[in-house]
Amino acid sequence: MTTAQRSTVQGTAVRDALAAQDGFRSAQDVYAQLRADGHKIGLSTVYRHLQAFTERGVADAIHNPDGETTYRFCGEAHTSHHHHLVCRSCGRAEEVEGRAVERWAEEIATKYGFTAVNHTLEVFGICPACVSVGPESDAAPVG
Amino acid sequence: MTTAQRSTVQGTAVRDALAAQDGFRSAQDVYAQLRADGHKIGLSTVYRHLQAFTERGVADAIHNPDGETTYRFCGEAHTSHHHHLVCRSCGRAEEVEGRAVERWAEEIATKYGFTAVNHTLEVFGICPACVSVGPESDAAPVG
DNA sequence: GTATTTGCAAATCGTTTGCGGCTTG
DNA sequence: CAAGCCGCAAACGATTTGCAAATAC
């Protein structure tokens, strides 16, 4: 269970690529980015690392409204539960806590007798930077 | 815009099938159900109707944690924004309102200067009925 | 030296679309 | 009769997996 994986060039590359961006990116995005940067890496490898990161808490993963899975680097592994305010235009995201929401979720769950509860919550919008640039930005479409 | 579509046997069948279930179902589920009931219908037709229902507000659509799109009949078209407490085991769902959450979402959005905000929020758990039955129910897996 | 990781290509999976044929109004 | 549906099969895009070659420790 204490699977400590080997450190490989590709693994590092994927992490760096993800860390270099401050927004949520799809696996395909990261892959394209890496190739563009001249890296010799396979798409499957990117997927594998991204998923591994998510499991280890090194990255957050969320589904955008279109159903694609997007990942975001999280620095030190942190298990604390949180949500995001994601820019639909550039993918940038603010990490936000929602004590109120967590409480609310628990309340209604209890009210209806539901157990083993968990929830999904993401807020999407257009960040200030993208608004001023106009509705035609394109950095990293997340919606 | 006021596109009134024709009433067809299949359209009715899909609506009935969806209405017959009180939980969220995937298109494939509904399709299988219909075929099982002896209906002669195509998968694409099911998809087309389900999407149409969603657009008309006759059905709610949400993505389950696995990324699949699931639909649920909503009776009279209602545009009011709401969320769901969905049973991960049988798909049954309670329609819940989250004034507090809406407010919270708006607050943080404003705080960070985000505009054109919207959010996704669903709560998943195990309903009382499924708990008493044991962790082996199977009605309509939603997660 | 050997277990792990990589990468390619093929396989899945859910969903969408093209299009001739059938229905509805 | 004409505008819309239907359904099948092919197309699709994202993600997964099989497996032999490459690599890390």
Q: Where are the domains of chain B?
A: 3-133
CB B73 within 8 A of CB B61: no
B12 CB contact with strand C at below 7 Å: no
Tell if the CB–CB gap between A96 and B117 is shorter than 8 Å: no
Alpha-carbon distance B9 to nearest alpha carbon in chain A (angstroms): 31
At B124-137, the pLDDT tens digits run: 999 999 988 765 54
Tell the burial category of B2 from Cβ atoms under 10 Å away from its Cβ (0-12, 13-18, 19+). exposed
Alpha-carbon distance B123 to nearest alpha carbon in chain A (angstroms): 4
A137: three-class secondary structure by DSSP: coil
Instruction: Name residues whose C-beta falls within 8 Å of residue A32's C-beta, 6 or more positions apart in sequence.
Output: none
The topology under which CATH files domain B3-133 is Arc Repressor Mutant, subunit A (1.10.10)
Instruction: Name residues whose C-beta falls within 8 Å of residue A68's C-beta, 6 or more positions apart in sequence.
Output: A26
- Sign of the C-alpha dihedral, residues B30, B31, B36, B39? positive
> Mutation test of the interface with chain B: which of A92, A114, A117, A122, choosing the one with the most B Cβ atoms within 10 A?
A114
pLDDT of B7 > 60? The answer is yes
Residues of B at the A interface, defined by Cβ within 8 angstroms: 63, 65, 67, 69, 85, 87-88, 94, 96, 98, 100-101, 104-105, 108-109, 112-128, 131
pLDDT of B56 > 50? The answer is yes
- Average of per-residue pLDDT values in chain B: 88
Cα distance between residue A19 and residue A15, in whole Å: 6
Q: Output the distance from A113 CA to D12 C1' rounded to whole Å.
A: 42
Chain mean position to CA B29: 12
CB A33 within 8 A of CB A49: no
The model carries a pTM of: 0.86
Alpha-carbon distance A117 to nearest alpha carbon in chain B (angstroms): 4
pLDDT at B81: 85
Q: Output the distance from B5 CA to D4 C1' rounded to whole Å.
A: 8
pLDDT at A134: 62
Tell if the CB–CB gap between A120 and B115 is shorter than 8 Å: no
